[in-house]
A and B are shown apart, each in its own frame.
Chain A
Amino acid sequence: MTESQSQSEPTASEPQHPHQEAGASPADAAPQAAPSRRSVLGWGGAGLALGAATAGGAVAAFGGGSDMVSAAAAGAAVPFHGEHQAGIASAVQDRLHFAAFDVKTKSREELVKLLKEWTEAARRMTAGLPVGEGGFGGLPEAPPDDTGEALGLKASRLTLTIGFGPGLFAKDRFGLEGKRPEALVDLELFPGDNLDPARSGGDLCVQACADDPQVAVHAIRQLARIGFGRTAVRWSQLGFGKTSSTTPEEQTPRNMMGFKDGTRNISGTDKAALEKHVWVGAGDGSDWLTGGSYLVARRIRMNIETWDRTPLGEQEDIFGRDKGEGAPVGKSKERDEPFLKAMKPEAHVRLAHPDTNNGATILRRGYSFTDGTDGLGRLDAGLFFLAFQRDVRKGFIPIQRQLAKADVLNEYIQHVGSAIFAVPPGVRDKDDWWGRTLFA
């Protein structure tokens, strides 16, 4: 463990990078249970074997052992209240349901009311409780408050993280035009982007992560339902098999191309790196956002079939790491410091590396997705890229410019959806609510 930091790369794999250090406390906002730690669910035997084979030190040490009865297995609840929202630096769960919403109401008051209702529902659901009066036992003539599919399931480390899109700050809408953070830019169209408006944008987003997909899906479904009339789901994305970890003691997950992804991601326990690269600071320009972050979401489709026909050597050249161990070119261990010049000039890792981007570093929290097959029989799969950073102009944008221009991986991937959000600070206590600092 100990590494930390990280980075970025928007696309698929990993970054690398600097190092830093980690601490040991769960860096999540709220102290409390210790949700951090390996979740390993889902990475059964094969995964563990790989992990062990792999890296030395820390990784191997965690490769198996009885204390693997992880927080996930115990169905733990991640604290909802805290300085920062959970779901950013907190340990990455295995499943995702991400939804972007359009706000339909024109009333600021209605919107605030909705955010309060959402907060209350989120508070309950992240604690493993049903929404409102629950899923049964009420009036027979009325639909239950909670849809019920998560009844009896544990909290499963559910985290719900809200973000505010640029549209919310539009003129003559909710009176927020003066509060739009400068760093909440409208993303440029990068070379090669083939963005589908139906999978892009949104006034609000909610990222639901959990170790049980049913719990994550349930959470978004309840919020969508509470929102009807005031919000409408614009698009949503399911994800599985996290592609980046914020817990470096765990085995590094693999993306759909079969490569380890997230070796050098920022660790959720590395407070210094988080302060520097992820959390918006008090002097950053938008006081309401202090303690928050910026989120970039990109749906990155992979051309799976052609990738699978690519020779191993070429695959490894494209990434700049080997496929089995994940070691950077010329090195033997996954966590060895990459020697960028040994990689091909257009290797993905080299281009995504902070050293190539003036130190640009982001915290990635992406997930693989597979939405069945497209009409041509090709797997509709790829990476749902999620990155948090203190300033998008210094994080995602320079890195993506670099990658979009030259990355050889671009032959095998295409960005088909895109969105950006300002992620407010955490909900402090039971009287607080999502967005209070913005609207109050």
Chain B
Amino acid sequence: MRPARLTVIAAASVAAALTAVTGCSQKSDAGGDDVIKVAASDSACDVSKTEFPSGKVQIDVENKGSKVTEVYVLFPDARIVTERENIGPGTKASITAEIKAGDYEIVCKPGMKGDGIAKKVKATGKGAAEEKRSPEADAAVAAYRAYVIAQAEETLPKAQAFADAVKAGDIEAAKKLYAPSRIGWERTEPVAESFGDIDPKVDVREDGLEAGQDPAKDWTGWHRLEKALWADNKIGDDEKKLADTLMADLADWQKKVGTAEITPSSMANGAKELLDEVATGKVTGEEERYSRTDLVDFKANIEGAQKAYELLKPIATKNDPELVKQLDTQFAAMTVLLDKYRTDKASYEFTAYDKVGELERKELSDAVSALGEPLSKLAAAVTK
């Protein structure tokens, strides 16, 4: 599922807590006037009504087009209220959800790709959101969610290529594909970490296992494969299986990211957390201790933080222009500094971290502190 939703959503009160009901399909005759009918085709997404009472809502979808499609109901900040994918041409599906009063979009995505076709709808009734967020805050959150979703979407094929190389026992190919397969994840890690169960499966290091866990049995994810490739220099049957496990876990991640609870302050603090990741894991060289590709993660963390920051900038500029100035300066300085470690600014081939001297590491660490400290003030600047 990839609900990429790029359109900037117009204003709107945000609905409150989300109560998406899992999109179980039901018989489509459930009916009556309460049902919203969606006629999806390759070029249209017609809804039978754009206003409906809040509460339990049923949406009947008919795919009249020639491509497989998917349908979403989205909050103004692009969070998914409910969704249904893989609706084949000529078939019908039904979705139900508990929808509170407020503004939404129904989106059809023919071919299950791209932004899709959106229709604005409104759930009427009382209980409209108490907490109003500004339109620009909604826009920032929506755009960030789209970014996170796109990162997951782009990561899956790269991870698949890596997994395929592992399964083929091709150590050299797998080594080359390892770091690139992690970039999307590293850019958006705080969102992934908000689903507590995924991160320990895909990104844990051996020393992150809990007491009683056996690395041979319980250690999964990228770093286990990293160790096999670089330290052990061999791929066994277990690792081949783990490549599939990694893909399954990443698919789970991709499925969930659209539903993550995101607010301007969680974006800001997420950006800061990415810097924290750099400060505690990358600068020290702990993260990629076998592959020495720490700087790739480093760069990805910074890019993810910068994306969140750029989206929040319009709000922060109003509240704390001095902070914005400082952050612009420090992000720029960080970019210049990191570029010293790659010859081609379009590539993600960075100097191996064991080739980075102590003084250079100190310089990187100083830059992280210089950026991380003002970044820790961004949340306050966007929630004022």
- Chain A residues in the interface with B (C-beta under 8 A): 102, 104, 139, 141-143, 198, 225, 228-230, 232
Residue in B358, B366, B376 with the greatest tally of chain A CB atoms within 10 Å: B366
The answer on a CB contact under 8 Å between A141 and B372 is no
**B377 close to A104 (CB less than 8 A):** no
A141 to B380, CA, bound (A): 6
Residue on A nearest B265 in the bound complex, by CB = A141
- Complex Cα spacing A424 to B100, Å: 65
**In the docked arrangement, what's the CA distance between A396 and B329, Å?**
41
Shortest Cβ distance from residue A222 to the other chain B in the assembled complex, whole angstroms: 12
Q: How far is the CB of B180 from chain A (nearest CB, A)?
A: 31
Nearest to B329 among chain A residues (CB) is A229
Contact B373 A232 (CB under 8 A): no
- Number of contact residues on B: which range applies? 20 to 34
Interchain CA distance A143-B380 in the complex, whole Å = 9
CB distance from A339 to the nearest CB of B (A): 50
**Do B380 and A229 touch (CB < 8 A)?**
no
Closest to B379 in A: A141
With CB as the reference atom, state the residue of chain A lying closest to B381: A142
Closest-by-CB residue of A relative to B370 is A229
Whether A143 lies near B374 (C-beta < 8 A) is no
Query: How near does chain B come to A139, taking the closest CB pair, in angstroms?
Result: 5
Q: State in angstroms the CA–CA spacing of A75 and B374 once bound together.
A: 33
Do A229 and B374 form a contact, CB below 8 Å, given A104-B366, A141-B265, A141-B269? Answer: yes
- Within 8 Å by CB of B369, from A139, A141, A142, A229, lies A229
Q: What are 12 A-B contacts defined by CB distance under 8 Å?
A: A104-B366, A139-B380, A139-B383, A141-B265, A141-B269, A141-B379, A198-B358, A225-B373, A228-B370, A229-B370, A229-B371, A232-B362
The B interface, classified by DSSP as helix, strand, loop or mixed, is helix
Interface string of B249-281 (1 = CB under 8 A from A): 000000000000000010011000000000000
Query: Is B326 located at the chain interface by the 8 A CB criterion?
Result: yes
Q: Is B330 an interface residue (CB 8 A)?
A: yes
* Contact with B380, one of A102, A104, A142, A232 (Cβ below 8 angstroms): A142
Asked if B383 contacts A232 (CB within 8 A), the reply is no
Whether B379 and A142, one on each chain, are in contact in the complex, defined by CB atoms closer than 8 angstroms, is: yes
Complex: how many Å from CA A229 to CA B380?
Answer: 19
Q: Please, how many angstroms separate the alpha-carbon atoms of A339 and B376 in the complex?
A: 62
- What 20 new A-B contacts, CB under 8 Å, besides A142-B380, A232-B369? A104-B366, A139-B379, A139-B383, A141-B268, A142-B377, A142-B379, A143-B376, A143-B377, A198-B358, A225-B373, A228-B369, A228-B372, A228-B374, A229-B326, A229-B330, A229-B370, A229-B374, A230-B370, A232-B366, A232-B370
Question: Could you say which of B326, B358, B383 contacts A141, with CB atoms under 8 Å apart?
Answer: B383
Alpha-carbon distance A104/B383, docked complex (angstroms): 30
Residues of chain B with a CB closer than 8 A to A198's CB? 358, 362
Task: Determine the chain A residues whose CB is within 8 A of the CB of B371 once the complex forms.
Answer: 229
Give A193 to B345 CA distance when docked, in angstroms. Answer: 43
Residues in B197-239 with C-beta less than 8 Å from chain A: none
Interchain CB contact under 8 A, A228 and B377: no
CB atoms of A228 and B380 under 8 A apart: no
Hey, which chain A residues are within 8 Å of B373, CB to CB?
225, 228-229
From B369, which residue of chain A is reached at the shortest CB distance?
A228
For A229, what are the chain B residues with a Cβ–Cβ distance below 8 Å? 326, 329-330, 369-371, 373-374
Within 8 A of A (CB), among B50-96: none
Contact partners of B268 in chain A: CB under 8 A: 141
Contact (A142, B376) CB under 8 Å given A229-B326, A229-B330: yes
User: Which residues on A sit within 8 Å (CB–CB) of B366?
Assistant: 102, 104, 232
Q: Closest approach, in angstroms, between the C-beta of A114 and any C-beta of chain B? A: 12
Those of B321-346 within 8 Å (CB) of chain A = 326, 329-330
Report the Cα distance A141→B381, complex, angstroms: 9
User: How many angstroms from the CA of A139 to the CA of B378 in the assembled complex?
Assistant: 12
List the 7 closest pairs (A to B, CB-CB), nearest first: A142-B380, A229-B370, A232-B366, A228-B373, A141-B379, A141-B265, A228-B369
Residue of chain A at shortest CB distance from B371 = A229
- B377 (CB) vs chain A CBs: closest residue: A142
B350-377 interface code vs A (CB 8 A; 1 in, 0 out)? 0000000010001000100111111011
Bound together, the chains give a CA A132 to CA B377 distance in angstroms of: 14
Task: List residues of chain B with CB within 8 A of the CB of A104.
Answer: 366, 370
A141 CA to B377 CA, complexed, in Å:
9
How far in angstroms is the closest Cβ of chain A from B134? 16
Min distance, Cβ B371 to any Cβ of chain A, angstroms? 7
Task: Report chain B residues within 8 Å CB of A142.
Answer: 376-377, 379-380
**What are the interface flags for B22-63 relative to A under an 8 Å C-beta threshold, 1 for contact and 0 otherwise?**
000000000000000000000000000000000000000000
Contacts of B358 in A (CB 8 A): 198
Tell me the minimal C-beta distance from B377 to chain A in angstroms: 6
Q: Which residues of A contact B370 (CB under 8 A)?
A: 104, 228-230, 232
- B267 smallest CB distance to A (angstroms): 11
Residues of B within 8 A of A225 (CB): 373
- Residue in B closest to A143 when the chains form the complex, CB atoms: B376
Instruction: Tell me the smallest distance from the CB of B189 to a CB of chain A, in Å.
Output: 20
The distance in angstroms between the C-alpha atoms of A142 and B372, with both chains bound, is 13
Chain B residues near A143: list those with CB within 8 A: 376-377
Shortest CB distance A118–B (Å)? 15
Most buried by A among B373, B374, B377: B373
| Closest B residue, CB atoms, query A225 | B373
Closest Cβ of chain B to A4, distance in Å, is 42
Separation in Å of the B312 CB from the closest CB of chain A?
Answer: 12
Cα A230 to Cα B376 in complex, Å, equals: 16
Q: Which residue of A lies closest to B373 (CB)?
A: A228
Chain B residues near A102: list those with CB within 8 A: 366
CB distance from A230 to the nearest CB of B (A): 8
Nearest A-chain residue to B382, judged by Cβ: A141
B contact residues around A230 at 8 Å (CB): 370
What residue in chain A is nearest B376 (Cβ atoms)?
A: A143
A104 to B373 CA separation, bound complex (whole angstroms): 14
Q: Chain B residues with Cβ under 8 A from A141's Cβ?
A: 265, 268-269, 379-380, 383
> Which residues in B have their C-beta under 8 angstroms from that of A139?
379-380, 383
Which residues of A lie under 8 Å from residue B376 when comparing CB positions? 142-143
Q: For B369, list chain A residues within 8 Å (CB).
A: 228-229, 232
Give the shortest distance, in Å, between B162 (CB) and chain A (any CB): 37
Chain A residue nearest to B327 (CB atoms) is A229
CB distance from A224 to the nearest CB of B (A): 9
What residue in chain A is nearest B372 (Cβ atoms)?
A: A228
- Shortest CB–CB separation between residue B273 and chain A, in angstroms? 12
**Whole-angstrom distance between the Cβ of A101 and the nearest chain B Cβ:** 10
Considering the chains assembled together, what is the distance between the CA atoms of A230 and B373 in angstroms? 11
Q: Contact flags (1/0) for B95-113 with A, using CB distance below 8 Å?
A: 0000000000000000000
Q: A228 to B371, alpha carbons, bound, how many Å?
A: 8
* Closest Cβ neighbor of A226 among chain B residues: B373
Specify the chain B residue showing the minimal Cβ separation from A142.
B380
A342 to B373, CA, bound (A): 59
B269, B326, B358, B370, most chain A CB atoms within 10 A? B370
Can you name the residue of chain A whose Cβ is closest to the Cβ of B326? A229
A142 to B316, CA, bound (A): 14
- A232 and B366 CA atoms in complex are apart in Å by 6
Q: Report the separation of the CA atoms of residues A225 and B376 in the bound assembly, to the nearest whole angstrom.
A: 11
Inter-chain CA distance A345–B379, complex, in Å, is 66
